[in-house]
Chain A
Amino acid sequence: MLTLASVFAANSSSSNIFLQQIENGITLGAMYALVALGYTLVYGIIELINFAHGDIFMWGTVITFIVVQMMGLNHPLSGFALVGVLLLLIIIGMAVSAFLNAGLERVAYRRLRKAPRLAPLIAAIGASFILETIVQLWRGTNFYAFPDIFPHGGFTIFGARVNYLDIFIVVLAVAMMYGLARFINTTKLGRAMRATAQDPEAAALMGVNINRTISITFLIGGALAGAAAVVYNMYIGQVWYLTGFQLGLIAFTAAVLGGIGNIYGAVFGGFLIGLIQSLAIQFIPGGFQWSLAVVFAVLVLILVFRPSGLLGQQVPDKV
Chain B
Amino acid sequence: MLELHNVNAGYGPSLVLHDVTVQVNKGEIVCLLGANAAGKTTTMKTIFGLVKPRSGSVTLEGERIDTVGTDGVIKRRLALVPEARRVFTRMSVRENLEMGAYMIDDRAAITQEMERVYTLFPRLKERDKQVAGTLSGGEQQMLAMGRALMAQPRLICMDEPSMGLSPILVQTVFDTIQRIREQGVTVFLVEQNAFMALNIADRGYVLQQGHIVLSDTAKNLLTNDLVRRAYLGG
Residues of A at the B interface (CB closer than 8 Å) are 188, 191-192, 194-195, 198-199, 201-209, 314, 317, 319
A202 and B82 within 8 A (CB): yes
Residues of B within 8 A of A198 (CB): 88-91
**Min CB gap A14→B, angstroms:** 45
CA A220 to CA B102, docked complex, whole Å: 21
A207 and B102 within 8 A (CB): yes
- 27 pairs, A vs B, C-beta closer than 8 Å: A188-B98, A188-B102, A192-B99, A192-B102, A194-B88, A195-B99, A199-B86, A201-B50, A201-B82, A201-B86, A202-B82, A202-B88, A203-B88, A204-B70, A204-B71, A205-B50, A205-B70, A205-B82, A206-B74, A206-B99, A206-B100, A206-B102, A206-B151, A207-B70, A208-B71, A208-B99, A319-B86
Residues of A within 8 A of B84 (CB): 319
8 A Cβ contacts from B86-114 to A = 86-91, 95, 98-100, 102-103
CA A206 to CA B50, docked complex, whole Å: 12
Residues of A within 8 A of B151 (CB): 206-207
B90 and A314 within 8 A (CB): yes
CA A203 to CA B151, docked complex, whole Å: 13
CA A209 to CA B91, docked complex, whole Å: 19
Q: Which of B80, B90, B95, B98 is the one whose CB lies under 8 Å from A205?
A: B80
Residues of A within 8 A of B98 (CB): 188, 191
In the complex, the number of residue pairs spanning A and B with C-beta atoms less than 8 Å apart equals 62
A207 and B86 within 8 A (CB): no
Interface size on B, residues (CB 8 A): 24
**Best-surrounded residue of A202, A204, A205, A207 (most CB of chain B within 10 A):** A205
A194 and B91 within 8 A (CB): yes
B89 and A209 within 8 A (CB): no
**Can you list, as one digit per residue, whether each of B53-86 has a CB less than 8 Å from chain A (1) or not (0)?**
0000000000000000011001100011010101
CA A202 to CA B100, docked complex, whole Å: 10
CA A194 to CA B88, docked complex, whole Å: 9
Q: Which 6 A-B pairs have the closest CB atoms?
A: A207-B74, A202-B86, A207-B103, A204-B70, A206-B102, A207-B102
Residues of B within 8 A of A188 (CB): 98, 102
Residues of A within 8 A of B71 (CB): 204, 207-209
For the A-B complex with A192-B99, A195-B88, A205-B86 known, give 18 more contacts whose Cβ atoms are closer than 8 Å. A191-B91, A191-B95, A191-B98, A194-B91, A199-B88, A201-B86, A204-B70, A205-B50, A205-B70, A205-B79, A205-B80, A206-B103, A207-B71, A207-B102, A207-B103, A314-B90, A319-B84, A319-B86
Residues of B within 8 A of A195 (CB): 88, 91, 99
CA A314 to CA B74, docked complex, whole Å: 27
CA A208 to CA B75, docked complex, whole Å: 10
Q: Which of A192, A194, A199, A205 is the one whose CB lies under 8 Å from B48?
A: A205
**Min CB gap B95→A, angstroms:** 6
Residues of A within 8 A of B82 (CB): 201-202, 205
Residue of B whose beta carbon sits closest to that of A198: B88
CA A256 to CA B175, docked complex, whole Å: 47
CA A194 to CA B75, docked complex, whole Å: 21
A208 and B102 within 8 A (CB): yes
**Best-surrounded residue of B75, B84, B88 (most CB of chain A within 10 A):** B88
Residues of A within 8 A of B79 (CB): 205
**Best-surrounded residue of B80, B89, B90, B100 (most CB of chain A within 10 A):** B90
CA A303 to CA B91, docked complex, whole Å: 27
CA A195 to CA B86, docked complex, whole Å: 11
Also in contact, A207 and B75, with CB within 8 A (given A191-B99, A201-B86, A319-B86) = yes
Residues of A within 8 A of B80 (CB): 205
CA A63 to CA B14, docked complex, whole Å: 50
CA A207 to CA B99, docked complex, whole Å: 9
Residues of A within 8 A of B89 (CB): 198, 317
**Min CB gap B186→A, angstroms:** 17
Residues of A within 8 A of B74 (CB): 205-207
Residue of A whose beta carbon sits closest to that of B86: A202
**Can you list, as one digit per residue, whether each of B135-155 has a CB less than 8 Å from chain A (1) or not (0)?**
000000000000100010000
8 A Cβ contacts from B164-201 to A = none
**Best-surrounded residue of A191, A202, A207 (most CB of chain B within 10 A):** A207
**Min CB gap A223→B, angstroms:** 24
